[in-house]
Structure 1
Amino acid sequence: MANKFMKSGSSQARWLILFSYIIALAFDIMALLENATVIIPPISLMVLLYWCAHFLDKTHLLSAFILGLLADTLYQTTLGAHALVFSVLAFLMLRHRLRFKAYPVWRQAFSIGVYMMLYQILNYIFFSPVLDSNDAIQFWSMPAIAIIIWPLLSLIFRRITTNVVKG
């Protein structure tokens, strides 16, 4: 069923995609309020990568840019820095989304871990955060947390899209 939904195109799921971005930004805000942004991956980026990989008729580069600008305002960083990072990562996902989509979920999770490691490297280069020894371990272990979160996120979105097709 989910494959039928994915082949139908993103125009039928426009509101679902928009709603998922809003919910993901809410999770990012909650992580920021709990000072857990060092270890919790940006959920909005993970949701963006999910939709980039699973819809072949859209690139989602505009969504990446807008989500990046929203992340810039959320984290109070230089306007456009996260937009650039999100757009680069979305482009990289678009380059190999057919292979990514064919992977089993556990292998997708490790690919997402690589994307999150690239995010952390770019984050470290652009923003050069001051990390003490405890924060440094958490900062560089964030991709491992993303590997753990990805199967759950993927399962939730598959269930939602299956329900949309049935409904």
Structure 2
Amino acid sequence: MISFGTQRRLWVLPATFVVAFVMFALPVGEEWKSYMPAWVTLVLIYWCLATPEKITLGTGWLIGLGLDILAFGLLGRYALTKTLITYLTRRVALRVRVYPVWQQSVFVLMLLALESVILVAIGYLIEGNIQGLAQWRALAIGAALWPFIFWFLRHCRRWSRLP
């Protein structure tokens, strides 16, 4: 018989994504939107680094599709970027995991910048104007928050006894 103390808490991984979705959907003023980091992307990067066997390309696509539905925007925009982030992170996960957290922050900054460039390019191709250039502040904030997000999610992963 397995006691409750030794069971894995498999609900922790989806719960972190639910919290990230809620943070994405928080109603903030227009002047504060450029300071909001990409919470879902940061959580996705962590889980791809920590457990690359659990987060597949399909998972990244579904998370992106959920963001597309939540944002009421162009369907597939976030699905494309989250799938690409998942692919790139899983591709180098074993190498990046051994880096110190501050070097991981540089990697996270590059991924967030790539995602922003793709989202701006898609916006330009669809709408014909460049929007989202003010979001570059969110990249620096996301990279600066990475050590805290890494620590918190690692604590959650260890508490849940996920490999």
TM-score range, shorter chain: 0.7 to 0.9
For the 8 Å contact 2:20–2:43, the answer to whether it is kept is yes
Pairing 1:16-165 to 2, within 5 Å after superposition: 16-30=12-26, 33-35=27-29, 36-128=32-124, 130-131=130-131, 136=133, 138-165=134-161
Percent of aligned positions with the same letter in both sequences?
23
| 1:99 to 1:13, Cα distance in 2 relative to 1, 3 A | farther
Aligned length: 148
Query: 1:151 and 1:48 mapped to 2: Cα distance?
Result: 15
Q: CA deviation at 1:58?
A: 2.7
Partner of 1:7: none
* Alignment check: 8 A CA contact 1:41 1:116 kept: no
Question: Deviation at 1:23?
Answer: 0.5
Greater Cα shift, 119-128 or 34-43: 34-43
5+ long unaligned stretches in structure 2: 1-7
Question: Deviations for 1:14-47, whole angstroms, at most 9, x for unmatched residues?
Answer: 31111001011001111xx104443322211110
In 2, the alpha carbon distance for the partners of 1:17 and 1:37 equals: 26
TM-score by length of 2: 0.82
Q: Secondary structure at the match of 1:34?
A: coil
Deviation for aligned residue 1:13: 5.1
Q: Shift of residue 127 of structure 1?
A: 1.4
- Which residue identity does 2:28 align to in structure 1? E
Q: Report the Cα offset of residue 114 of structure 1.
A: 0.4
- Larger helix percent: 1
What TM-score results when the alignment is normalised by the length of structure 1?
A: 0.80
> Residues 72-109 of structure 1, C-alpha deviation per residue, up to 9 Å, x if partnerless?
12222211121011101110101100011111111111
Partner amino acid, structure 1, of 2:53 = D
Paired with 2:12 and 2:113, the residues of 1 have a C-alpha distance of 28
Partner of 2:4: none
- AA in 2 matched with 1:34: V
Contact 1:68–1:80 (CA under 8 A) maintained in structure 2: yes
Change (3 A) 1:154 1:69: same
| Structure 1 unmatched ranges of 5 or more | 1-11
Moved over 2 A (4+): 35-39, 56-60, 128-131, 161-165
